[in-house]
Amino acid sequence: MSCILVVEEARRDGSTRVFQETLAAGRRLAELTGLAVEAAGVGEPGRNIFAQITGAQPAAGHAIRHELLAAYTADGYTLAFEQLIRRLEPRYVLFPHSYQARDFVPGLAARFGQALIGDVTAIGEGPTFARQLYQGRMHATYRHAGGGPCFLSIQNGAFRADEGAGGTMPVSEFTPALEPAQIRTRPGTPFRETAQTVDLSSAQRIVGVGRGIKDAEKLPLVEDLAGALGAELGASRPICDNGWLPMERQVGSSGQTVAPKLYLAVGISGAIQHLVGMKGSQCIVAINKDPDAPIFEVADYGIVGDLFEVVPALTEAVKAAR
């Protein structure tokens, strides 16, 4: 019965891309272990949870249905998946590394005496699991010590979803035993803070500024560069957290996703939460004083140096060339 169980999650817009990527990670693990891939997901009655799966189909699907799971809660999901996992006894359980998985999977794993291997970027022989440490400045590989299911969450974009034609698979229904009193939190309806007045997603060029700028008073330096390039100003999270630039200029997993022709990262280290928001840019330039900064891993061009010297020089060079 031992299998690789891959858990479905749909985005607010209905997209299941991260689930499909997690399925691809499951298939990779299947190659290495010879185990079969099965899928599980939560859904309201009548919804075919697995309808969007493209490429090779899992061997089986498990549709978890319960009225107390209509809105996500950590309590509800932990109980439901605990029961399903005790029934199926999978060897591996894979989740997309989403905010939702972060919210309940560590507790679910603890219930089985396990710790999650989170935000996995690659799966190797063994199997071993790779993830980043120190905000992307180090990579590490981990092994599960065995005994009990191994819980994994898979980094967004780390595996490529299988794009072949879909198919069908046997789906069984699973109704967990849940009582209203077991759900201790009451979640409200998701909302967006303010109407966005800056749409970075359609900008052709963006200058992204990070904590390397040190001080709000130094921002005119990058504003001048953006002006010379005809670019919009974007920022990493700490800049917006500090209130130096409005939230709507934040690029990354909790901000906007952008894909301009040119993204110029100034004093940004390149944490994964920032990279997911801009790595689709056509051309990426990084200016950073640290030659080992992870931003250089995705950059086409880089200048290693002090931004307070490089940025004014670049502004001049751009003006001269135009």
Ligand X SMILES: Cc1cc2nc3c(=O)[nH]c(=O)nc-3n(C[C@H](O)[C@H](O)[C@H](O)COP(=O)(O)OP(=O)(O)OC[C@H]3O[C@@H](n4cnc5c(N)ncnc54)[C@H](O)[C@@H]3O)c2cc1C
Scanning residues 236 to 275, which ones bind ligand X (CB under 6 A)? 236-238, 250-255, 267-269, 271, 273-274
Question: Residue 148's binding partner, choosing from ligand X, another protein, none, with beta-carbon cut-off 5 to 8 A by kind?
Answer: another protein
- Site map 162..201 versus another protein, x via CB under 8 A: ----------------------xxxxxxxxxx--x-----
The dihedrals phi and psi of 34, each to the nearest 5 degrees, come to 80, 5
Which H or E run includes 238? helix 237-241
- Site map 232..271 versus another protein, x via CB under 8 A: -----xx-xx-x---x-----xxxxx---xx---------
Question: Residue 268's binding partner, choosing from another protein, ligand X, none, with beta-carbon cut-off 5 to 8 A by kind?
Answer: ligand X
CB-based burial, 178-207: b 16+ in 10 Å, e otherwise: beeeebeeeeeeeeeeeeeeeebeebebbb
- CB of residue 247 to ligand X, shortest distance in Å: 10
Q: Tell me how far apart the alpha carbons of residues 315 and 135 are, in angstroms, rounded to a whole number.
A: 30
- Which stretch in 72-80, 178-186, 189-197, 300-308 sits in contact with ligand X by CB under 6 A? 300-308
Amino acid at 221: L
User: Does residue 183 sit in helix, strand or coil?
Assistant: coil
Cα distances (angstroms) measured from residue 249 to each of 156, 192, 197, 256, 302: 22, 15, 10, 8, 23
Bridging pattern class, strands 283-288 and 262-266: parallel
Question: Residue 107's binding partner, choosing from another protein, ligand X, none, with beta-carbon cut-off 5 to 8 A by kind?
Answer: another protein
Does 118 bind ligand X (CB under 6 A)? Our answer is no
Q: Which residues bind ligand X (CB under 6 A)?
A: 210-212, 236-238, 250-255, 267-269, 271, 273-274, 277, 288-290, 293, 306-308
